[in-house]
Structure 1
Amino acid sequence: MKYLSAYPIDLQAQVRRLLDEQRLGDMLLRKYQTAHTIRSDRALFAYVQELKAEYLRSADPLNKVCFDSKLHVIHHALGTHTSVSRVQGNKLKAKREIRVATLFKSVPIEFLQMITVHELAHLKEKAHNKAFYQLCTHMQPDYHQVEFDLRVYLTHLDMAGPLVWPDEGLHKGPAVANADGT
Protein backbone atom coordinates (compact mmCIF):
# COMPACT_ATOMS: atom_id res chain seq x y z
CA MET A 1 0.00 0.00 0.00
CA LYS A 2 2.49 2.53 -1.28
CA TYR A 3 0.12 5.52 -1.11
CA LEU A 4 -0.50 5.00 2.61
CA SER A 5 3.04 4.10 3.75
CA ALA A 6 3.45 7.35 5.74
CA TYR A 7 0.31 6.68 7.79
CA PRO A 8 0.13 4.69 11.05
CA ILE A 9 0.12 0.89 10.74
CA ASP A 10 -3.30 0.56 12.41
CA LEU A 11 -4.84 2.94 9.84
CA GLN A 12 -3.23 0.97 7.02
CA ALA A 13 -4.65 -2.22 8.56
CA GLN A 14 -8.17 -0.74 8.56
CA VAL A 15 -7.86 0.13 4.88
CA ARG A 16 -6.43 -3.33 4.12
CA ARG A 17 -9.33 -4.99 5.96
CA LEU A 18 -11.93 -2.93 4.03
CA LEU A 19 -10.14 -3.77 0.80
CA ASP A 20 -10.02 -7.51 1.64
CA GLU A 21 -13.73 -7.44 2.52
CA GLN A 22 -14.43 -5.58 -0.75
CA ARG A 23 -16.05 -2.71 1.18
CA LEU A 24 -13.48 0.01 0.52
CA GLY A 25 -15.04 1.09 -2.77
CA ASP A 26 -18.52 1.24 -1.27
CA MET A 27 -17.22 3.36 1.60
CA LEU A 28 -15.65 5.86 -0.82
CA LEU A 29 -18.75 5.93 -3.03
CA ARG A 30 -20.96 6.68 -0.01
CA LYS A 31 -18.67 9.46 1.19
CA TYR A 32 -18.17 11.04 -2.24
CA GLN A 33 -21.35 10.40 -4.21
CA THR A 34 -20.79 12.05 -7.58
CA ALA A 35 -18.06 12.98 -10.03
CA HIS A 36 -17.54 16.58 -11.07
CA THR A 37 -18.32 17.72 -14.60
CA ILE A 38 -15.01 19.47 -15.37
CA ARG A 39 -13.79 17.41 -18.31
CA SER A 40 -11.98 19.79 -20.66
CA ASP A 41 -8.76 21.77 -20.29
CA ARG A 42 -10.74 24.97 -20.77
CA ALA A 43 -13.14 24.09 -17.93
CA LEU A 44 -10.19 23.10 -15.72
CA PHE A 45 -8.44 26.40 -16.46
CA ALA A 46 -11.61 28.33 -15.51
CA TYR A 47 -12.00 26.30 -12.31
CA VAL A 48 -8.39 26.86 -11.23
CA GLN A 49 -8.61 30.57 -12.10
CA GLU A 50 -11.69 30.88 -9.84
CA LEU A 51 -9.81 29.31 -6.94
CA LYS A 52 -6.78 31.49 -7.61
CA ALA A 53 -8.93 34.65 -7.79
CA GLU A 54 -10.59 33.79 -4.50
CA TYR A 55 -7.51 32.86 -2.48
CA LEU A 56 -4.35 33.99 -4.28
CA ARG A 57 -5.16 37.28 -6.01
CA SER A 58 -1.62 38.62 -5.74
CA ALA A 59 0.09 35.45 -6.98
CA ASP A 60 1.72 35.36 -10.39
CA PRO A 61 -0.69 34.65 -13.27
CA LEU A 62 -1.11 31.19 -14.73
CA ASN A 63 -0.54 30.78 -18.45
CA LYS A 64 -1.78 27.23 -18.81
CA VAL A 65 -3.78 24.67 -16.86
CA CYS A 66 -4.49 21.29 -18.41
CA PHE A 67 -5.11 17.61 -17.86
CA ASP A 68 -2.06 15.47 -18.67
CA SER A 69 -2.49 11.78 -19.50
CA LYS A 70 1.23 11.02 -19.04
CA LEU A 71 1.69 12.69 -15.68
CA HIS A 72 0.99 9.82 -13.27
CA VAL A 73 2.98 7.30 -15.30
CA ILE A 74 6.07 9.35 -16.17
CA HIS A 75 6.53 11.72 -13.23
CA HIS A 76 4.93 9.61 -10.50
CA ALA A 77 2.90 12.69 -9.62
CA LEU A 78 -0.76 13.61 -9.71
CA GLY A 79 -0.15 17.23 -10.54
CA THR A 80 2.72 19.55 -11.36
CA HIS A 81 3.40 23.24 -11.16
CA THR A 82 6.12 24.51 -13.43
CA SER A 83 7.61 27.88 -14.16
CA VAL A 84 9.61 28.42 -17.31
CA SER A 85 11.62 31.62 -17.76
CA ARG A 86 12.37 32.90 -21.24
CA VAL A 87 14.21 35.93 -22.52
CA GLN A 88 12.02 38.07 -24.76
CA GLY A 89 14.01 41.02 -26.04
CA ASN A 90 15.56 42.65 -22.99
CA LYS A 91 12.94 41.23 -20.58
CA LEU A 92 12.76 37.97 -18.69
CA LYS A 93 9.27 36.46 -18.96
CA ALA A 94 8.06 33.66 -16.73
CA LYS A 95 5.28 31.33 -17.82
CA ARG A 96 3.57 29.27 -15.16
CA GLU A 97 1.51 26.19 -15.77
CA ILE A 98 -0.33 23.58 -13.78
CA ARG A 99 -0.83 20.07 -15.10
CA VAL A 100 -3.28 17.67 -13.48
CA ALA A 101 -3.30 13.91 -14.08
CA THR A 102 -6.14 12.76 -16.34
CA LEU A 103 -7.27 10.48 -13.52
CA PHE A 104 -8.90 13.59 -12.02
CA LYS A 105 -11.38 13.93 -14.89
CA SER A 106 -13.76 11.38 -13.38
CA VAL A 107 -13.50 11.75 -9.62
CA PRO A 108 -15.41 13.77 -7.03
CA ILE A 109 -14.86 17.55 -7.02
CA GLU A 110 -13.18 17.31 -3.60
CA PHE A 111 -10.33 15.26 -5.10
CA LEU A 112 -9.90 17.68 -8.00
CA GLN A 113 -9.99 20.62 -5.60
CA MET A 114 -7.36 18.99 -3.39
CA ILE A 115 -4.86 18.54 -6.23
CA THR A 116 -5.47 22.02 -7.68
CA VAL A 117 -5.21 23.65 -4.24
CA HIS A 118 -1.94 21.78 -3.74
CA GLU A 119 -0.51 23.02 -7.03
CA LEU A 120 -1.82 26.57 -6.51
CA ALA A 121 -0.14 26.68 -3.09
CA HIS A 122 3.16 26.18 -4.91
CA LEU A 123 2.68 29.63 -6.47
CA LYS A 124 3.39 31.08 -3.01
CA GLU A 125 5.34 28.33 -1.24
CA LYS A 126 7.79 26.16 -3.17
CA ALA A 127 8.52 23.64 -0.40
CA HIS A 128 6.11 21.33 1.40
CA ASN A 129 6.51 23.11 4.72
CA LYS A 130 4.17 24.32 7.45
CA ALA A 131 3.26 27.51 5.57
CA PHE A 132 2.50 25.48 2.44
CA TYR A 133 0.04 23.20 4.26
CA GLN A 134 -1.52 26.15 6.09
CA LEU A 135 -2.21 27.72 2.71
CA CYS A 136 -3.71 24.45 1.45
CA THR A 137 -6.05 24.22 4.45
CA HIS A 138 -6.97 27.89 4.02
CA MET A 139 -8.15 27.13 0.48
CA GLN A 140 -9.71 23.75 1.38
CA PRO A 141 -10.36 23.38 5.13
CA ASP A 142 -10.62 19.56 4.94
CA TYR A 143 -7.50 19.30 2.75
CA HIS A 144 -5.76 16.66 4.89
CA GLN A 145 -8.82 14.41 5.10
CA VAL A 146 -9.43 14.65 1.35
CA GLU A 147 -5.75 13.93 0.66
CA PHE A 148 -6.00 10.81 2.82
CA ASP A 149 -9.22 9.74 1.07
CA LEU A 150 -7.57 10.28 -2.31
CA ARG A 151 -4.68 8.09 -1.19
CA VAL A 152 -7.23 5.46 -0.14
CA TYR A 153 -8.82 5.71 -3.60
CA LEU A 154 -5.43 5.35 -5.30
CA THR A 155 -4.84 2.23 -3.19
CA HIS A 156 -8.22 0.89 -4.31
CA LEU A 157 -7.36 1.76 -7.91
CA ASP A 158 -4.07 -0.18 -7.71
CA MET A 159 -5.45 -3.22 -5.92
CA ALA A 160 -9.11 -3.55 -6.97
CA GLY A 161 -9.57 -1.30 -9.99
CA PRO A 162 -11.34 1.99 -10.64
CA LEU A 163 -14.55 3.23 -9.10
CA VAL A 164 -17.16 4.83 -11.28
CA TRP A 165 -18.83 7.84 -9.76
CA PRO A 166 -22.02 9.00 -11.47
CA ASP A 167 -21.89 12.56 -12.83
CA GLU A 168 -23.33 15.37 -10.69
CA GLY A 169 -27.10 15.58 -10.83
CA LEU A 170 -27.53 12.05 -12.16
CA HIS A 171 -27.85 8.75 -10.36
CA LYS A 172 -27.24 9.03 -6.59
CA GLY A 173 -26.48 5.39 -5.77
CA PRO A 174 -22.97 3.90 -5.75
CA ALA A 175 -21.54 2.23 -8.81
CA VAL A 176 -18.43 0.08 -8.65
CA ALA A 177 -16.44 -0.98 -11.70
CA ASN A 178 -14.90 -4.41 -11.78
CA ALA A 179 -11.29 -4.91 -12.78
CA ASP A 180 -12.43 -5.48 -16.39
CA GLY A 181 -14.19 -2.08 -16.41
CA THR A 182 -17.78 -3.39 -16.22
Structure 2
Amino acid sequence: MTFTATTPLKYLQAYPASLQDQVRQLIAQDKLGAYLEQRYPGRHDVQSDKALYAYALSLKQEYLRNAPGIDKVLFDNRLDLTHRALGLHTTVSRVQGGKLKAKKEIRVASLFKDAAPEFLKMIVVHELAHFKETEHNKAFYQLCEHMQPGYHQLEFDLRIYLTWRDMQQG
Protein backbone atom coordinates (compact mmCIF):
# COMPACT_ATOMS: atom_id res chain seq x y z
CA MET A 1 0.00 0.00 0.00
CA THR A 2 1.35 3.42 -0.91
CA PHE A 3 0.82 6.06 1.73
CA THR A 4 -0.05 9.60 0.68
CA ALA A 5 -1.03 12.73 2.60
CA THR A 6 -4.67 11.62 2.40
CA THR A 7 -4.30 7.89 3.04
CA PRO A 8 -6.54 6.93 5.99
CA LEU A 9 -4.46 5.72 8.93
CA LYS A 10 -6.69 2.82 9.90
CA TYR A 11 -5.04 2.17 13.28
CA LEU A 12 -5.14 5.85 14.26
CA GLN A 13 -8.64 6.88 13.19
CA ALA A 14 -9.84 7.47 16.78
CA TYR A 15 -7.03 9.99 17.39
CA PRO A 16 -7.20 13.74 16.70
CA ALA A 17 -6.41 14.89 13.16
CA SER A 18 -3.39 16.83 14.46
CA LEU A 19 -1.75 13.61 15.71
CA GLN A 20 -2.59 11.82 12.48
CA ASP A 21 -1.00 14.69 10.56
CA GLN A 22 2.19 14.34 12.62
CA VAL A 23 2.33 10.64 11.71
CA ARG A 24 1.70 11.45 8.03
CA GLN A 25 4.57 13.96 8.19
CA LEU A 26 6.91 11.25 9.55
CA ILE A 27 5.76 8.96 6.73
CA ALA A 28 6.32 11.66 4.09
CA GLN A 29 9.84 12.27 5.47
CA ASP A 30 10.50 8.51 5.58
CA LYS A 31 11.19 8.79 9.33
CA LEU A 32 8.50 6.58 10.84
CA GLY A 33 10.78 3.55 11.18
CA ALA A 34 13.54 5.69 12.71
CA TYR A 35 11.06 7.16 15.23
CA LEU A 36 10.03 3.67 16.33
CA GLU A 37 13.59 2.33 16.42
CA GLN A 38 14.74 5.25 18.54
CA ARG A 39 11.89 4.86 21.04
CA TYR A 40 11.75 1.04 21.07
CA PRO A 41 15.15 -0.37 20.07
CA GLY A 42 14.86 -3.74 21.79
CA ARG A 43 13.05 -6.99 21.03
CA HIS A 44 11.70 -9.25 23.75
CA ASP A 45 12.78 -12.85 24.20
CA VAL A 46 9.33 -14.32 24.95
CA GLN A 47 9.12 -16.68 21.97
CA SER A 48 7.10 -19.69 23.09
CA ASP A 49 3.61 -20.17 24.46
CA LYS A 50 5.16 -21.53 27.65
CA ALA A 51 7.29 -18.38 28.08
CA LEU A 52 4.28 -16.17 27.30
CA TYR A 53 2.20 -17.99 29.93
CA ALA A 54 4.97 -17.47 32.53
CA TYR A 55 5.24 -13.81 31.53
CA ALA A 56 1.47 -13.19 31.83
CA LEU A 57 1.31 -15.11 35.10
CA SER A 58 4.09 -13.02 36.63
CA LEU A 59 2.25 -9.80 35.69
CA LYS A 60 -0.99 -11.19 37.10
CA GLN A 61 0.73 -12.16 40.36
CA GLU A 62 2.24 -8.69 40.67
CA TYR A 63 -0.90 -6.66 39.96
CA LEU A 64 -4.01 -8.87 40.05
CA ARG A 65 -3.55 -11.46 42.78
CA ASN A 66 -7.29 -11.68 43.48
CA ALA A 67 -8.36 -11.99 39.85
CA PRO A 68 -9.30 -15.43 38.48
CA GLY A 69 -6.43 -17.69 37.47
CA ILE A 70 -5.19 -17.95 33.92
CA ASP A 71 -5.56 -21.38 32.36
CA LYS A 72 -3.91 -20.77 28.99
CA VAL A 73 -1.83 -18.06 27.31
CA LEU A 74 -0.57 -18.41 23.76
CA PHE A 75 0.54 -16.68 20.60
CA ASP A 76 -2.18 -17.02 17.98
CA ASN A 77 -1.41 -16.58 14.28
CA ARG A 78 -5.14 -16.50 13.49
CA LEU A 79 -5.83 -13.21 15.25
CA ASP A 80 -6.81 -10.78 12.52
CA LEU A 81 -5.68 -7.17 12.64
CA THR A 82 -8.47 -6.16 10.28
CA HIS A 83 -10.82 -6.84 13.18
CA ARG A 84 -8.49 -4.93 15.51
CA ALA A 85 -7.68 -8.01 17.56
CA LEU A 86 -4.16 -7.65 18.91
CA GLY A 87 -5.00 -9.93 21.76
CA LEU A 88 -8.06 -11.70 23.13
CA HIS A 89 -9.22 -12.74 26.54
CA THR A 90 -11.80 -15.49 26.64
CA THR A 91 -13.64 -17.56 29.14
CA VAL A 92 -14.41 -21.02 27.90
CA SER A 93 -17.09 -22.82 29.90
CA ARG A 94 -17.11 -26.59 29.97
CA VAL A 95 -19.08 -29.16 31.88
CA GLN A 96 -16.80 -31.54 33.76
CA GLY A 97 -18.69 -34.18 35.66
CA GLY A 98 -21.60 -32.36 37.24
CA LYS A 99 -19.79 -29.02 37.47
CA LEU A 100 -19.45 -26.09 35.15
CA LYS A 101 -15.80 -25.02 34.85
CA ALA A 102 -14.71 -21.71 33.35
CA LYS A 103 -11.27 -21.59 31.79
CA LYS A 104 -9.64 -18.18 31.29
CA GLU A 105 -7.47 -17.79 28.20
CA ILE A 106 -5.36 -15.02 26.73
CA ARG A 107 -4.30 -15.07 23.10
CA VAL A 108 -1.75 -12.63 21.69
CA ALA A 109 -1.35 -12.03 17.96
CA SER A 110 1.77 -13.84 16.73
CA LEU A 111 3.09 -10.69 15.09
CA PHE A 112 4.11 -9.56 18.58
CA LYS A 113 6.80 -12.25 18.76
CA ASP A 114 9.02 -9.75 16.92
CA ALA A 115 7.90 -6.61 18.75
CA ALA A 116 9.46 -4.40 21.37
CA PRO A 117 9.05 -5.67 24.96
CA GLU A 118 6.95 -2.59 25.78
CA PHE A 119 4.40 -3.54 23.12
CA LEU A 120 4.12 -7.14 24.31
CA LYS A 121 3.62 -5.96 27.88
CA MET A 122 0.97 -3.46 26.76
CA ILE A 123 -1.03 -6.21 25.02
CA VAL A 124 -0.76 -8.61 27.97
CA VAL A 125 -1.63 -5.86 30.48
CA HIS A 126 -4.66 -4.93 28.36
CA GLU A 127 -5.95 -8.50 28.30
CA LEU A 128 -5.24 -9.06 32.01
CA ALA A 129 -7.15 -5.87 32.86
CA HIS A 130 -10.23 -7.43 31.27
CA PHE A 131 -10.19 -10.05 34.04
CA LYS A 132 -11.25 -7.30 36.47
CA GLU A 133 -12.93 -4.79 34.14
CA THR A 134 -14.85 -6.20 31.19
CA GLU A 135 -15.59 -2.86 29.49
CA HIS A 136 -13.17 -0.31 28.08
CA ASN A 137 -14.15 2.28 30.67
CA LYS A 138 -12.30 4.70 32.94
CA ALA A 139 -11.60 2.03 35.58
CA PHE A 140 -10.23 -0.30 32.89
CA TYR A 141 -7.76 2.28 31.59
CA GLN A 142 -6.78 3.30 35.13
CA LEU A 143 -5.94 -0.35 35.83
CA CYS A 144 -3.90 -0.57 32.60
CA GLU A 145 -2.03 2.61 33.56
CA HIS A 146 -1.38 1.19 37.05
CA MET A 147 0.07 -2.02 35.62
CA GLN A 148 2.05 -0.19 32.94
CA PRO A 149 2.73 3.50 33.48
CA GLY A 150 2.60 5.34 30.16
CA TYR A 151 0.02 2.86 28.85
CA HIS A 152 -1.78 5.44 26.66
CA GLN A 153 1.43 6.55 24.91
CA LEU A 154 2.36 2.91 24.34
CA GLU A 155 -1.04 2.17 22.84
CA PHE A 156 -0.61 5.12 20.46
CA ASP A 157 2.94 4.08 19.55
CA LEU A 158 1.78 0.50 19.02
CA ARG A 159 -0.72 1.80 16.49
CA ILE A 160 2.12 3.70 14.78
CA TYR A 161 4.09 0.43 14.74
CA LEU A 162 1.17 -1.36 13.06
CA THR A 163 0.96 1.44 10.49
CA TRP A 164 4.70 1.08 9.82
CA ARG A 165 4.32 -2.71 9.46
CA ASP A 166 1.58 -2.19 6.85
CA MET A 167 3.91 0.12 4.94
CA GLN A 168 6.66 -2.53 4.95
CA GLN A 169 4.29 -5.18 3.61
CA GLY A 170 2.73 -2.95 0.96
> Which whole-Å CA distance do the structure 2 matches of 1:74 and 1:22 have between them?
24
Among residues 146, 149, 152, which one is paired with 2:160 in the alignment? 152
Residues 1:5 and 2:48 are matched in the alignment = no
Residue 25 of structure 1: how far off its partner (Å): 0.4
Following TM superposition, by how much is the alpha carbon of 1:73 offset from its aligned partner in structure 2, in angstroms? 5.0
> For each residue in 1:156-180, what CA deviation from the matched residue of structure 2 results, as whole angstroms up to 9, or x when unmatched?
111x217xxxxxxxxxxxxxxxx6x
1:84 aligns with 2:96: no
Alpha-carbon offset, residue 69 of structure 1: 0.5
Partner of 1:161: 168
Correspondence 1:111 to 2:107: no
Q: What amino acid sits opposite 2:30 in the alignment?
A: Q
Q: Aligned match of 2:34 in 26, 30, 37?
A: 26
Following TM superposition, by how much is the alpha carbon of 1:74 offset from its aligned partner in structure 2, in angstroms?
Answer: 7.3
* 1:44 aligns with one of 52, 67, 72: 52
| Runs of 4+ more than 4 Å apart | none
Q: What are structure 2's unaligned runs of at least 5 residues?
A: 1-8
CA distance, structure 2, for counterparts of residue 13 and residue 73 of structure 1: 22
Query: Alpha-carbon deviation of 1:124?
Result: 0.5
Question: Does the residue aligned with 2:139 lie in a helix, a strand or coil?
Answer: helix
What is the Cα deviation at residue 90 of structure 1? 2.1
1:76 Cα shift?
A: 3.6
> Are residue 141 (structure 1) and residue 149 (structure 2) matched?
yes
Q: CA RMSD in A?
A: 1.3
Amino acid at match of 2:79: L
Change (3 A) 1:18 1:73: closer
Runs of at least 5 residues in structure 1 that lack an aligned partner in the other structure:
163-178
CA deviation after TM superposition for structure 1 residue 21, in Å:
1.1
- In the alignment, which residue of structure 1 is the partner of 2:64? 56
Instruction: State the alpha-carbon separation in 2 of the partners of residues 86 and 149 from structure 1.
Output: 38
**Alignment identity in percent?**
60
